[in-house]
């Protein structure tokens, strides 16, 4: 069933052009389990075939991601923690996921929003705690757009350059998502390393001030 659903999302993003990319990436940035790996790389491939432009695909993905994440922000900003704690599990946001995102944001603050947009799992959730702590929306949206557009760019360029030699993946969204995740693991590890370095610098600075 999941495979069929992924294939439907995949085909919708293809057939609806920029609007499809925008909508699918907006859903991907909420709790709806739409993998960006089956949206942006094929869009990059279709751009290489002349059906869309690569910059247009990347921009549509970045704007869609920002829109979806902003909806999450506005949901918790408006309804508050009590509502999310009680009802979150019914829209795929159980308490443990919210705690994960809150812990991430507490450690990294605004730069964490940027890093989150480049990492799996927390990428979909970061808007919720940002709304709960009432992070300034303009700053949140700006950093989200930059991080989202970078991620969409990485995926689209990969599809633009690679899928021409692996057209079989265009017929199997599940295999495509698995292949993309494996091939881009270096990028995820790089971002995770940057995050670890940030935490070390933060810890060292705090420790140094405490001993002054």
Q: What is the pLDDT of residue 142?
A: 94
Q: What is the pLDDT of residue 76?
A: 86
Q: How many domains does the chain have?
A: 1
92 or 21: which leads in pLDDT: 21
Domain span at residue 127?
2-210
Quick one: average pLDDT of 43-53? 87
Residue carrying structure tokens 């609806």: 16
Q: What is the DSSP letter of 51?
A: S
User: What are the pLDDT digits (tens) for 160-179?
Assistant: 877 777 777 777 777 777 77
* pLDDT at 51 > cutoff 80: yes
Q: pLDDT band at 3, cuts 50/70/90?
A: low
- In the chain, % of residues over pLDDT 70: 85
4 or 98: which leads in pLDDT: 98
* pLDDT at 201 > cutoff 70: no
User: What are the pLDDT digits (tens) for 176-193?
Assistant: 777 777 777 777 777 777
Q: What is the pLDDT of residue 200?
A: 62
Q: What is the DSSP letter of 32?
A: S
Q: What is the pLDDT of residue 178?
A: 78
* pLDDT at 2 > cutoff 60: no
User: What are the pLDDT digits (tens) for 73-100?
Assistant: 998 889 887 787 777 776 667 777 777 7
CA distances from 66 to 1, 26, 71, 123, 174 (A): 28, 7, 9, 11, 25
């Amino acid at each position: 069933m999941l495979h069929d659903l992924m294939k439907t999302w995949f085909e919708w993003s293809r057939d609806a052009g920029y609007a499809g990319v925008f909508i699918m990436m907006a859903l991907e940035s909420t709790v709806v389990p739409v993998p960006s790996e089956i949206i942006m790389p094929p869009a990059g491939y279709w751009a290489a075939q002349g059906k869309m432009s690569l910059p247009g695909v990347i921009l549509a993905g970045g704007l869609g991601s920002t829109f979806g994440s902003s909806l999450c922000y506005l949901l918790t900003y408006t309804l508050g923690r009590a509502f999310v704690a009680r009802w979150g599990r019914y829209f795929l946001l159980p308490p443990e996921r919210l705690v994960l995102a809150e812990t991430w944001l507490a450690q990294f603050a605004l730069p964490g929003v940027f890093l989150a947009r480049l990492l799996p799992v927390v990428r979909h959730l970061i808007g919720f705690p940002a709304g709960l702590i009432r992070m300034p929306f303009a700053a949140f949206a700006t950093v989200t757009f930059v991080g989202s557009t970078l991620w969409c760019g990485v995926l689209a360029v990969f599809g633009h350059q690679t899928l021409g030699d692996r057209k079989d993946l265009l017929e199997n969204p599940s295999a495509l998502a698995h292949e993309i995740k494996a091939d881009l693991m270096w990028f995820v590890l790089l971002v995770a390393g940057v995050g670890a370095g940030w935490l070390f610098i933060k810890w060292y600075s705090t420790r140094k001030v405490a001993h002054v």
